[in-house]
Chains A and B, each alone.
Chain A
Amino acid sequence: MAERRVRVLVGKPGLDGHDRGAKIIARAFRDAGFEVIYTGLHQTPEQIVSAAIQEDVDCVALSILSGAHNTLLPAVKEILVEKGAADIVLMAGGVIPEDDIPGLKKSGIAEVFTPGTSTETIVGWVRDNVTPHA
């Protein structure tokens, strides 16, 4: 039987225009052998979820630096659930205060990475926590 290639969507929800981090993560995922669907800036939660479903990704990784994480991340999770795609792992990275992380995890964000995290750590986390769809 052929093997699954891990597919990850990397995107930036909302209005902040800084995508350097997202690009670095996308590149690290590429070098780890994943197929990365990069959707670019200024995505609505609806667009992100539709793209994730059409691309049949195993994981959605969102970069967010605007401070709107408490609104946007749970919104993405909610739409994933609504569209029957709760199995897609949702993770995030960016400027996110430690105090907000427990709340985000409670609303279904699997992991949150803050500034200074190495790309190895993030790639390793995906390897350990994301199983490609059977």
Chain B
Amino acid sequence: MSLAERVLDGDIRAAARLMRDIDDRFKSAVEELKTLYPHTGNAYIIGITGPPGAGKSTLVDQIVAAYRKRDLLVGVVAIDPTSPFSGGAILGDRIRMNRHADDAGVFIRSLATRGALGGLSRSTMDVANVMDAMGMDVIVIETVGVGQDEVDIVSTAHTTVVVMVPGLGDDIQAIKAGILEIGDVFVVNKADRDGAERTARELTTMLEMKHPDEDGWVPRVMKTEGSRGVGIEELVEEFDAHRTYLKESGALQRLIEERNAKVFADTLKDELFESVMSAISENGTYQDILNGLRDRSTDPYSAVQKVMAESAFT
């Protein structure tokens, strides 16, 4: 049996191995993903993002517990940064959620960014697809701790949750572009701390100035204390509300179509680059171009145009 067939059969080791093959960019993984693709598209994907130390992993742990109470199967993809020096990584999100490790209704996978800059790893969507095919009802994706501009989660999740904590900056931070624009739900975690009220108020003011979605979703600011589980039930109910809104307004269909277009474009880009690059490396053109650039007899723009002219697509 192929890995994909074993995944559909409920084999946990096969699923874990396939995720590894995807992450390590094995060619064979593409074939397996083809088999799984018809079995995907059923899971509800929640993205959790926010700065380092905001309590994302602890919130994920509580969200998993809340969905397990409803008897839903939950997958978690937790991403932590890769060292730019050694290529190694310490994936520590599990520390907060490993109590769910031996619950057969939960599957947690840690991924390293491996150089990706948008807050996720390149493999995130495909790993989530494997969980989807495994029959997970809900998939929670936790991004790396983000700064201001790591917004890839928006094009992966159905509901994007931005987690903030008190004391990170003044209200100018709250009106800047970037992650504060992407939340469908905002959370002020560690709400027992000084300044929580003020942070919540500033976020609310910022959101009031925002033009509402064309279909009228207005993000709310929720307060939680992840470590004690305070506010989690309300938070999960807000996810329900957003999910219902997506379905009923038709926004979900749009989201899916945008996503499909993006996945296709990204895959095409990767494949084209790889095939052109390997072709010109093999026939020596690449070396010629590098030589030309060295003595300034050609420029990068002409070189690319020349390569394109020789390929079948122009």
Contacts and interface: CB of A to CB of B under 8 A. Distances in A.
B20 A51 contact: no
A27 B90 contact: yes
Contacts of B102: 44, 46-47, 50
A32 B109 contact: no
Nearest to A2: B25
B99 A56 contact: no
The 10 tightest CB contacts between A and B, nearest first, are A40-B95, A30-B88, A56-B16, A2-B25, A50-B101, A47-B101, A46-B102, A56-B20, A33-B88, A33-B87
Contacts of B91: 35-38, 55
Interface of B: 12-13, 16-17, 19-20, 23-27, 82-83, 85-92, 94-95, 98-99, 101-102, 107-110, 112
A121 to B, nearest CB: 18
Contacts of B87: 5, 33
Interface string A27-67: 10111111111111001101110110111100000000000
A87 to B, nearest CB: 10
Contacts of A33: 86-88
B27 A51 contact: no
A26 interface: yes
Interface SS of chain A: helix, strand, loop or mixed? mixed
Nearest to A41: B95
**Chain A interface category by residue count:** 35 or more
Interface SS of chain B: helix, strand, loop or mixed? mixed
B94 A39 contact: yes
A37 B12 CA distance: 18
A31 B83 contact: yes
Interface of A: 1-5, 7, 26-27, 29-40, 43-44, 46-48, 50-51, 53-56, 83-85, 133
B199 to A, nearest CB: 28
Given A53-B12, A54-B109, A36 B90 contact: yes
Nearest to B19: A56
Contact of B109 (A2, A30, A48, A55): A55
Given A31-B83, A37-B94, A54-B108, 8 more contacts: A2-B25, A33-B87, A36-B90, A40-B98, A46-B101, A54-B101, A55-B16, A56-B16
A84 B13 CA distance: 9
30 contacts: A2-B24, A2-B25, A3-B24, A5-B87, A7-B20, A31-B85, A31-B86, A33-B87, A33-B88, A35-B82, A35-B88, A35-B112, A38-B91, A39-B94, A39-B95, A39-B101, A40-B92, A40-B94, A46-B102, A51-B101, A51-B108, A53-B12, A53-B16, A54-B16, A54-B101, A54-B109, A55-B16, A56-B16, A84-B13, A133-B20
